[in-house]
Amino acid sequence: MTATTDGSTGALPPRAAAASEIPTETTPVAAGTVETRDVAKYAIQRATDHLLSRQDAEGWWKGDLDTNVTMDAEDLLLRQFLGILDETTARAAGLFIRGEQREDGAWATFYDGPGDLSATVEAYVALRLAGDAPDAPHMTKAAAWVRERGGIASARVFTRIWLALFGWWKWDDLPELPPELIYFPKWMPLNIYDFGCWARQTIVPLTIVSAKRPVRPAPFPLDELHTDPDNPSPVRPTAPVASWSGVFQRLDKALHQYRRVAPQPLRRAAMNAAARWIIERQENDGCWGGIQPPAVYSVIALHLLGYDLDHPVMRAGLESLNRFTVWREDGARMIEACQSPVWDTCLAAIALADAGLPADHPQLVKAADWMLGEEIVRPGDWAVKRPHLPPGGWAFEFHNDNYPDIDDTAEVVLALRRVRHPDPERVEKAIGRGVRWNLGMQSKDGGWGAFDVDNTSPFPNRLPFCDFGEVIDPPSADVTAHVVEMLAVEGLAHDPRTRRGIAWLLAEQEPNGSWFGRWGVNYIYGTGSVVPALTAAGLPGSHPAIRRAVGWLETVQNEDGGWGEDLRSYDDAAEWSGRGASTASQTGWALLALLAAGERESKAVERGVAWLAETQLPDGSWDEPYFTGTGFPWDFSINYHLYRQVFPLTALGRYVNGEPFAEVEGG
């Protein structure tokens, strides 16, 4: 354990004022009438009170997690497939989906984004299930938009799989995914552990679905979504045999031929082995991996193998999916792709501590108690690559013991270090296990991925089946940075493993001075993660890499003083890197980097702090409709509702109180 010079555990000093001492809502504070520091203190007080008010009685925080309407559409399609879709659910889901439609008739996958073909197809079908007539104006507009972009034939594979379940698409016109994949040894290319954990959990049940090729009666035709209803699946050209695309296209054709001659005993055994793999990974709450897509496909796969809806596995699975439902005040029903209580709680604890909340504040202690209770102390899929590494990490969700992640583990350790807990020995043991586990999960190149070690095979992304999102989990700058920061705080800045991580980060810096953000949008997130890590590990603010990062952040600051970056930077970095409407979370990230680099007195920091103070709402929160979280770069985006609260508060706290652990020895 590292300690500050006064012998404490690195916690920050208490707040300067109690809640009763802050100005009232009738006492407006403008940035132009008081010093920026005083404005920041006032904003901190209001934000702190707001965040404290949102804590659950058990000690955790969780904000809503917005993604896009495909979650809601697929939930209705699942219920239709299982024969359990009811009118109330369909009506509430339809209300939400309808409200997300763009003026041009399409649906986007993030706020203010362009229309997305697959999302629009799925939303349209869901509204048909909810009772919307195809000749209704909003439906005809959507159908026309789909046809103009190639119709269903141009939608992604996963969308066409959903349609194939009802005969709206031919199984023969989908990539083959054989269940025999479950037998591939771990050294063999394209074995299931070559895929990232989220893809692995989805692909295994889909091998059963692909083998069974079920077709349930379609409740209506979808001719209006085809450019040519008489020829809905035009022949696609085959890529040259010398290209990787050509190789895998021909492999898929061979697998279609194999399907016709596959030994049935082997196929049945493979499906049963896949079913055992699925059931072994069902969590205690009935879900799979704590995320909606694997849970949906696992329920379908097991149902196809004869598991009825009253079977305990199925019943628990369906109940877990119900817990992803968020009911809006207007009666609309939104489905979360997953839930983020561990992530939200550790970030909230860090924000509150850095804002000056006393380290032994009862709500911080309660948060620490809850996080300690969420530690995962049994092996999961990660042990395939690290069989001798003792467990000791944290996951993202309420229940996900099979897939703790490196990012959450690093941030939980950083959060626990900020709390003065009445049982310090318990905290020390948990932190020790987390640090040991994270160190053991370092990839051979020196970086850290999110869930697995050396998950870098070049083959999975080339499969015709994988045309949507990332399916591997290579090291990323943001995760690696959080681990390096955590190791530095633990006094391990000079450990050879930490130095390898630092070297990896320095090598990954973009020519313009930024870092790519894998799990947050995008270069602002990457830069806001890396710079604090490098300085915590001992790099001075004068280091060339730090100066390049500072220079980049200053050049992309918006005229209003904030920072923002549109998700289109994943698709077009040259045009969109660091560019977009100012948001509270991204402004917070930029400020965290600048403050860590020693720019506290700079004009850029002053303007950023002023922007946060000026845009804070009366209740102490910030409004942020823009999506700043990332599931898959460009393909799947997230609006974490708590990001708009925790990151501005963290930045303001560090502006007023200084960098956390600044006096830690050994870093």
Question: Strand 333-335 relative to strand 629-632: parallel, antiparallel, unpaired?
Answer: unpaired
Residue 661 has pLDDT above 90, yes or no: no
Q: What are the backbone dihedrals phi and psi of residue 289, each rounded to the nearest 5 degrees, phi first? A: 70, 5
d(CA 178, CA 193): 16
d(CA 153, CA 174): 10
Q: Are 568 and 578 in contact (CB under 8 A)?
A: no
Proportion of the chain above pLDDT 70, given as a percent: 94
The pLDDT, as a whole number, for residue 29 is 37
- CB atoms near residue 209 (< 10 Å): 20
Nearest to 274 by CA among 319, 315, 304: 304
Residue 86 has pLDDT above 50, yes or no: yes
d(CA 458, CA 368): 40
Q: What are the backbone dihedrals phi and psi of residue 20, each rounded to the nearest 5 degrees, phi first? A: -70, -10
Residue-wise pLDDT for 152-161, tens only, equals: 999 999 999 9
Nearest to 93 by CA among 64, 126, 124, 133: 126
374 secondary structure, DSSP code: T
Residue 251 has pLDDT above 90, yes or no: no
Q: What are the backbone dihedrals phi and psi of residue 120, each rounded to the nearest 5 degrees, phi first? A: -70, -40
Mean local confidence (pLDDT), 120-134: 98
Residue 336 has pLDDT above 50, yes or no: yes
Alpha helices in 100-229 (DSSP H): 117-129, 137-148, 157-164, 197-212
Question: Strand 325-327 relative to strand 629-632: parallel, antiparallel, unpaired?
Answer: unpaired
d(CA 46, CA 618): 8
Q: If you compute the radius of gyration of the chain from its CA atoms, what whole number of angstroms results?
A: 25
The residue type of 128 is R
Q: Are 61 and 344 in contact (CB under 8 A)?
A: yes
The pLDDT, as a whole number, for residue 237 is 73
What is the sign, positive or negative, of the torsion defined by CA atoms of 553, 555, 561, 562? negative
d(CA 225, CA 115): 16
Alpha helices in 107-188 (DSSP H): 117-129, 137-148, 157-164
Residue-wise pLDDT for 486-510, tens only, equals: 999 999 999 999 999 999 999 999 9
Residue-wise pLDDT for 473-482, tens only, equals: 999 999 999 9
Residue 396 has pLDDT above 50, yes or no: yes
Residue-wise pLDDT for 483-492, tens only, equals: 999 999 999 9
The per-residue pLDDT of the chain, averaged, comes to 91
The question of whether 64 is a catalytic residue gets the answer no
Q: Are 574 and 522 in contact (CB under 8 A)?
A: no
d(CA 569, CA 522): 7
Q: Are 108 and 116 in contact (CB under 8 A)?
A: yes
* Catalytic one of 194, 344, 369, 407: 407
- pLDDT grade for 125, boundaries at 50, 70 and 90: very high
Angle between helices 362-373 and 406-416 (to 10 degrees): 150
The residue type of 557 is Q
User: What domains lie within the chain, and their CATH numbers?
Assistant: 68-231+239-335 (1.50.10.20), 350-375+385-442+474-657 (1.50.10.20)
Encoding tokens for residue 627? 């999506």
What is the model's pTM?
Answer: 0.91
Nearest to 497 by CA among 438, 410, 545, 416: 438
Q: Are 403 and 381 in contact (CB under 8 A)?
A: yes
What does the chain come to in residues?
A: 667
Residue 370 has pLDDT above 50, yes or no: yes
d(CA 617, CA 25): 11
Q: What angle do CA 558, 343, 632 make, to 5 degrees?
A: 65
Encoding tokens for residue 121? 């197809």
d(CA 65, CA 88): 23
d(CA 362, CA 419): 10
Residue 17 has pLDDT above 90, yes or no: no
The pLDDT, as a whole number, for residue 21 is 34
Nearest to 464 by CA among 142, 139, 243: 243
- pLDDT grade for 151, boundaries at 50, 70 and 90: very high
What is the sign, positive or negative, of the torsion defined by CA atoms of 256, 260, 263, 265? positive
Helix (H, G, I), strand (E, B) or coil at 291: strand
Helix (H, G, I), strand (E, B) or coil at 531: helix
Q: Are 288 and 278 in contact (CB under 8 A)?
A: yes
d(CA 208, CA 165): 13
